[in-house]
Amino acid sequence: MAASTLPNPGLGTYRLEGDTLKQAIHAALEAGYRHVDTAQFYANEETVGEALRDSSVPRSDIFLTTKVWFDRLAPSDVKKSVDESLARLKTDYVDLLLIHWPSPNDEVPMRDYLTALKEMKAEGKARHIGVSNFTIAQIDEAVGILGKGEILTNQIEVHPFLQNRRLVQHCQDLGIEITAYMPLAVGKVMEDPVLKRIADSHGVTPAEITLAWIKARGLVTIPSSTKARNIKSNLEAFDITLSEADMRDIEALDRGERIANPQMAPKWDE
């Protein structure tokens, strides 16, 4: 499997703010993370920027992702949104710029906002571009607009209870990386008896088993944590080798349980 452009894992920052967020970023960078994921919608870009500025790790060594919210998809708004994000993040560029959600009911034509996204890359404001929460049909439309090789990733919800196999395979077939968000299903993996049994057999936690499973599937992931020990163990999880039986048992946990399903979400693939 080709090496990922995205450092794996990254630190997710959704719902983190203030000193808690700063401490999480410093702990992650100290542990060896080099990928930080934020978004305009998280309202924490300014704090992320301060934490990165205060870090001893050079900005050039950090892969920084942010996202444009669905109400800023008109081309002029995409550009304003990006400039605002860069100002808050105290940087001239992001490494990855994503469309956070496709425009609900195609209110803004995809060609319009993806063309604006590509222009941000051409202007040097983003090193890479991608999408988030796009379905198979929307990925195909996006590739038709931008051409193959332009979309780095589709960031989607993936965890043992929502494995999204068809969409994952479709993106991988097109050379688009999958970034799995909510990999621990907001803590639900910790209570699952199958994951607990596999974790016990490896002498680790269900969270670590879940992250090892995501890595084994060839996915990038961005777990969020505020505790330094969990941030470190999330990274160490990538050293765990799961057996074929482990993988099969986790595969059987898929029940299509979607956690991120807001009103403006697209019609999901079954």
Alpha helices (runs of H) in 43-109, residue ranges in sequence order: 45-54, 75-89
* 93 counts as catalytic: no
Dihedral Cα 234, 237, 238, 241, nearest 10 deg? -170
Which of helix, strand or coil describes residue 203? Answer: coil
For helices 193-202 and 206-216, angle between their N-to-C axes, nearest 10 degrees: 90
Alpha-carbon span 211 to 8, nearest angstrom: 11
Indicate which residue of 42, 93, 113, 181 is catalytic. 42
> What residues contact residue 52 under an 8 Å CB cut-off, 6+ apart?
25, 36, 59, 62, 64, 89, 90, 91
Show which residues are catalytic: 42
